[in-house]
Structure 1
Amino acid sequence: MKLFHYHFWTNRVEETENYYRKLGFTVAARYAMEKGTVTPYHPPLEWKDFRENALIFRIIEVRRGKVNITFGAGKKPIFDHIGYLVNEEELAQICNRADVMGWKAETGARRTFIFTPYRFKIELQTRKDTVSDENISISHMMIKSPHTSIKRDLERLFHRNVDELLIEEGEQLQLQEVLINGVEDSSKDPNKVIVTGC
């Protein structure tokens, strides 16, 4: 299993897309709510083609190598979930352990979500086409939370050490920093997530 993904809600959707594009990410998909219907605005469309439509983007997906990031329109930046690429056997084992722990698992056709008691979810993804073979990957993530038992519980859920996740005590849940192999420099995205190359 491999950490590959994070998702958040933001009131700075266009700025967030532009930030990650400058880091070499490509836009894989854009979906907006329009008159109660989800409508795609994928590339080659650019923001100049639809900015005046005042769209509410449900999800924008950007990719680079083995890193997949999604974000959607919200009232303010809110960290929602992290994601792991898993095989079918790992998926079944993790869902079984989640059940034993009393954590809800929601299985869908495209992905499975584990609902933790810590105000963020874990996406389990078996589809390898959500990433590419380019040698860019997430090395570590730092999450701040008032709950100090997150790491212990995730190690129980995954039945292994989760050294790729650094949990720091903080007043509220926040994705603090993401270290990405193959990305140069260090900067903050428009949602105050520090993206550091390593």
Structure 2
Amino acid sequence: MLFHFHYWTPYVEEMENFYKRLGFTVHQRIGKYNGEFKHFNPPLTVDDIREKNILFRIIEMKRGNINITFGYGKRPTFDHIGFFVSKDEHDEICKKSEMIQWKTKIDERRTFLYTPYGFSIELQTHIDALGNDGNNDAIHRIELMTLKPGLEKDLSFLFGNRASSVQTKLGDHVKIEKVQIRGLKEKRAIDMNGVELLHV
């Protein structure tokens, strides 16, 4: 199941407020403050920490089966998407990834597949990565812009039918164009990084 995407962005506070409006909840904030990485999780709010000059590494927001993360960057930059898989599926996908010579990084919390298309793919097996808030909101489909063809074929090899949740088109840089979401509170919204969210 496609459940996640991550962006680097200069619009950290605006992104948090935007997704809160759409019903997402902050689950963690990690940022660099006075030279050290620290947690600034709820119940702390944006107003509580705005004046602290924190360089946020990650803000994690969840709703239903959707997990969105973002951290500070000088310009909006798409980093990765994520699939929630079983342990057996995880191991099979990693084997297939080696067959097409994609580098993998496996650790206890998550695995990354490094694609040749300018972004990475997270494999997640831990149920707490999902929102667990009682609703069934989910990512139906993501449309990506890529610099070269071949991604859909590679994803089909790795993920089988689940690859249909990712569509691609060629363009001049790598980014998420659209995200179709089941249960989105608004018919259409565009976040600060230019990602168009659509209700389906």
TM-score, normalised via structure 1 length: 0.96
Alignment correspondent of 1:166: 167
AA of the residue aligned to 2:58: I
Amino acid in structure 2 at the alignment position of 1:67: I
1:148: which partner in 2? 149
Confirm or deny that 1:90 pairs with 2:89. Answer: yes
Displacement, 1:157? 2.0
Q: How far apart, in 2, do the equivalents of 1:83 and 1:33 lie?
A: 25
Match of 2:190 in 1: 188
Contact 2:28 2:41 in 1 (8 A): yes
Give the partner amino acid of 1:169: L
Q: Matches of 1:123 and 1:8 in 2, distance apart?
A: 13
- Structure 1 distance, partners of 2:37, 2:155, is 34
Look up the match of 1:11. 10
Q: Deviations over 1:88-136 (max 9, x none)?
A: 1000001111111111110111100000011100000000111124210
Aligned-residue CA RMSD in angstroms?
A: 1.0
Task: Return the alpha-carbon distance in structure 1 between the equivalents of residues 156 and 58 of structure 2.
Answer: 29
Structure-2 separation of matches of 1:92 and 1:52: 45
Give the secondary-structure state (helix, strand or coil) at the position aligned to 2:62.
strand
TM-fit CA distance, 1:158: 2.0
State the one-letter code of the partner of 2:125: T
Measure, in 1, the Cα distance between the counterparts of 2:30 and 2:162. 36
3-state SS of 1:172 partner:
coil
> What is the identity, as a one-letter code, of the residue corresponding to 2:82?
G
Partners of 1:35 and 1:104 in 2: how far apart? 35
The CA distance in 2 between the partners of 1:162 and 1:130, in whole Å, is: 20
* C-alpha displacement of 1:53: 1.0
Q: Give TM-score scaled by structure 2 length.
A: 0.95
Unmatched tracts of structure 1, length 5 or more: none
What's the counterpart of residue 56 of structure 1?
Answer: 55
Q: Does structure 1 conserve the Cα–Cα contact (< 8 Å) formed by 2:4 and 2:67?
A: yes
Structure 2 runs not aligned, ≥5 long: none
Secondary structure of the equivalent of 1:44? coil
Match for residue 111 of structure 1? 110
State the partner residue of 1:129.
128
Structure 1 residues 102 and 21 mapped into 2: Cα distance closer, same or farther (>3 Å)? same
Q: CA separation in 1, counterparts of 2:198 and 2:83?
A: 20
Q: Measured at CA, do residues 161 and 85 of structure 1 come closer, stay the same or move farther in structure 2, by a change above 3 Å?
A: closer
- State the alpha-carbon separation in 1 of the partners of residues 37 and 96 from structure 2: 34
